[in-house]
Amino acid sequence: MTRIVSWNVNGVRAVMKKGFFDFLSREIPDVLCLQEIKATPEQLGARELTELDKLGYHTCWHPAKKAGYSGVATLCKKQPLFVTAGVPFERDEGRVLVTEHGDFTLYNIYFPNGRQTEDGPDPDRLAFKLEFYEAVLELVEEERAQAKHVIVAGDWNTALEEIDLARPKENKDQTGFLPEERRALREYVKKGWVDTFRHFHPARLYEGRLPEERDYTWWTYRAGARERNIGWRIDYQFVNKEFLPQVKGAAIWDEVHGSDHCPVVLDLKT
């Protein structure tokens, strides 16, 4: 079995002070995709880099050009065949890291958010987000057309359906749940990309449950939202439907703390 874990850590240096290495040495995923690392490898201490080496991880870094912002990293127990850091449409924001693993190609992505302001979503950032969704879809569809199997893992920054957040009515005008954002994400589903967690945990399993009894991946730090489980499910691992027979299971590890997000898990038969 191959286990792929994706986690927006909201600062890799911060999460390393909150039990990250205990988590990593306990779970030992085959691949760990990190988003919003907010650092370069040079900004990590020698002890942290040595610890990653001791655990046997090959680490691929793609920080943003702007210091302390965005960035992604992929940790692999087995060295990837190829690594591609960045794409032209990401604006030097450190959002896309591609690693090839033989049976599949893995996209580790930190999708933009629409940046909510007092007057509503920022029009420029919302437009960038929608363009980004479209460009990524075009990119992975090209890979798929070459008969490659692709996993798109990361923080997608959009809740797809009402079941994916605890307070849908209250957030209908908030970025992350706008109709145009949801349409952009739904285009992946229409094209044959599968939300692996929802595949194994369909909406019908939640019938009769209160919103606080559902599964989420992000909680605001305000008002004890995580303790009350008032959250959003905005972190996903999608696969092309042709690869689905090789997917064994998917999970959300909401018991793992250290960030305002929690890890999402994909298990492959390969």
Tokens of 81: 């065949």
Average pLDDT taken over every residue of the chain: 97
pLDDT-derived band at 7 (thresholds 50, 70, 90) equals very high
- The rounded percent of the chain whose pLDDT value lies above 90 is 96
Q: What pLDDT, on the 0 to 100 scale, is given for residue 117?
A: 87
pLDDT-derived band at 118 (thresholds 50, 70, 90) equals confident
Q: What pLDDT, on the 0 to 100 scale, is given for residue 267?
A: 98
Q: What is the pTM of this model?
A: 0.97
Q: Is the pLDDT of residue 231 over 80?
A: yes
In the sheet with 193-195, reading across from the earlier edge strand, the strands are 82-85, 96-100, 105-110, 150-155, 235-240, 193-195
Lowest mean pLDDT among 18-27, 86-95, 115-124, 202-211: 115-124
97: CATH? 3.60.10.10
When pLDDT is averaged across residues 217-241 and rounded to a whole number, the result is 97
CA 236 to chain centre: 5
Tokens of 140: 């992975």
Segment 233-268, tens digit of pLDDT: 999 999 999 999 999 999 999 999 999 999 999 999
Lowest mean pLDDT among 60-74, 94-108, 115-129, 244-258: 115-129
From residue 228, give the alpha-carbon distance in Å to each of 186, 210, 212, 222.
29, 12, 7, 11
From residue 189, give the alpha-carbon distance in Å to each of 26, 82, 130, 160, 203.
34, 27, 16, 10, 15
- 173 part of the active site: no
Segment 121-170, tens digit of pLDDT: 899 999 999 999 999 999 999 999 999 999 999 999 999 999 999 999 99
Q: What pLDDT, on the 0 to 100 scale, is given for residue 116?
A: 86
Q: Is the pLDDT of residue 270 over 90?
A: no
Q: Which of 53, 119, 124, 155 is catalytic?
A: 155
Number of domains present in the structure of the chain: 1
Q: In terms of residue numbers, what domain contains 6?
A: 2-268
Side chain identity, residue 268: L
Residue 95 is classified by DSSP as -
